[in-house]
Amino acid sequence: MKTNSRLYRKEAYYGYLFILPPVLGFLIFALFPALYSVYGSFTDWDGLGQMNFIGLDNFKDIFQDELFYKAMYNTLFMMIGIPIGLALALLLALGLNRRIPGTTAFRVIYYIPVISSLAAISIMWNLAYNGDFGLVNQFLDLLGIKGPNWLADKHTVKPAIMLMMIWKGLGYTMLLYLAALQSVPKDYYEAAELDGANAFHRLRHITWPMVKPVTFFVVVTGIIGGSQVFTEVNIMTSTGGPEYGSATVVFYVWQKAFGNLQMGYASAMTVILGLFIFIVTLVQFRLDKSSDIHE
């Protein structure tokens, strides 16, 4: 008994030792800064001088800040791309799941934008969206359409960036759907066919429920990622776009914190951002109680 408990203590000791680095990392680089951000959001922190407590002033200002609303609107607008990407990815995955020749090649090709450097891709699309000699308008010209100067027009700048984001993320979602589809037992479809279910019924009642965990996963991670868009905007529209039409929340935070040194104000915005992500994730989990996302 004595040795047993000593062995157990030794095991616990090594257990704690092995998990120490990530736990320390969590405390130093996540928990402490997150709490400090909350504290900073109630101050007039400028990153240099002392921090004076000013109560809710930052939050009051933010809710009167026209640029913040714009940035929030732009961020949400670009998230329209999430359901579009989902639908396209599912259709492509359904196609690839039919034992088509060259499946591996297709998977690789569709996945290349995913692994490509976002900065390089943004630089390329920045030129591709050029009104006079960009790829997009050159292509539209072939179809007889005169395209706008995408990134300089406040009506097209958001859809343009959104389109690029769909293009970049499509292969990832498609891959996840394809893996889920391949794990659906074939006899489900055969049984349904015997019962006279048509293609739409099979999609609606077998495929869609079976791939639901992937849909859930992609929507949650899509919203978390989508609320943190920065690089594309920073490179393609370095000032935040025409009439601030492409600036996202994180872009605005970055400008305020590191351009204007309004660290307290920017912290308050990140607190709102964090709360937004937390609530959206919570709602998603509520909506999807049957989800087996844990474990």
Partner 1 sequence: MALQRKWASAIIFVILLFGGLFMIAPLLWMFTTSVKDRMDVFALPPVWIPNPMHFGKYAEIWDKGPLLSGIKNSFIVAMTVTLVGTFTSSMAAFAFSKLRFPGKNKIFLLLIASLMIPYPSVMIPQFILFSQAGWVDTLLPLIVPGLFGNIVMIFFLRQYLASVPNALIEAAKIDGSSYAGIYSRIVFPLIRPAIAAQLILWFMAIWNDYLAPIIYLNSPEKQTLQLVIANYNATYAIQTDYPLIMAASVVALLPMLIVFLVFQKQIIESVAISGVKG
Site for partner 1 in 18-57 (CB under 8 A): 18-19, 21-26, 28-34, 36-37, 40, 47
Give the x/- contact pattern for partner 1 in 99-128, rule: CB under 8 A: xxxx---xxxxxxxx-xxxxxxx-xxxxxx
Q: State phi, psi for 253 to the nearest 5 degrees.
A: -55, -45
Q: Which amino acid is at 228?
A: Q
Indicate whether 143 belongs to the interface with partner 1 (CB under 8 A).
no
Q: Which is nearer to partner 1, 74 or 270 (CB)?
A: 270
Q: Check binding of 213 to partner 1 (CB under 8 A).
A: yes
Footprint of partner 1 on residues 257-276 (CB under 8 A)? Answer: 257-258, 263, 266-267, 270-271, 273-274
Q: Quick one: residue 277, left, alpha or beta (phi over 0 = left, psi -120 to 50 = alpha)?
A: alpha
C-alpha distance from residue 44 to each of 106, 127, 139 (Å): 53, 40, 51
Tell which residue, 216, 217, 189, has the closest CA to residue 203.
189
Q: Which of 74, 75, 234, 255 binds partner 1 (CB under 8 A)?
A: 234
Residues 61, 105: Cα–Cα separation, whole Å:
53
Shortest separation between residue 293's beta carbon and partner 1, angstroms: 7
Selected from 3, 4, 64, 183, the binder of partner 1 by CB under 8 A is 183
Three-state DSSP at 53 gives strand
Decide: is 189 part of the binding site for partner 1 (CB under 8 A): no
The token duo for 164 is 């690029």
Quick one: which segment of 64-72, 79-87, 130-138, 147-155 binds partner 1 (CB under 8 A)? 130-138
Cβ proximity to partner 1: between 59 and 254 the closer is 254
Question: Is residue 92 a contact residue for partner 1 (CB under 8 A)?
Answer: yes
**DSSP, res 31:** I
Q: What DSSP string describes 245-289?
A: -S--HHHHHHIIIIIS--HHHHHHHHHHHHHHHHHHHHHHHHHTT
How many residues make contact with partner 1 (CB under 8 A)? 100
Query: Candidates 7-15, 56-64, 76-84, 146-154 — which segment interacts with partner 1 by CB under 8 A?
Result: 7-15
Cβ 62 to partner 1 shortest distance, Å: 15
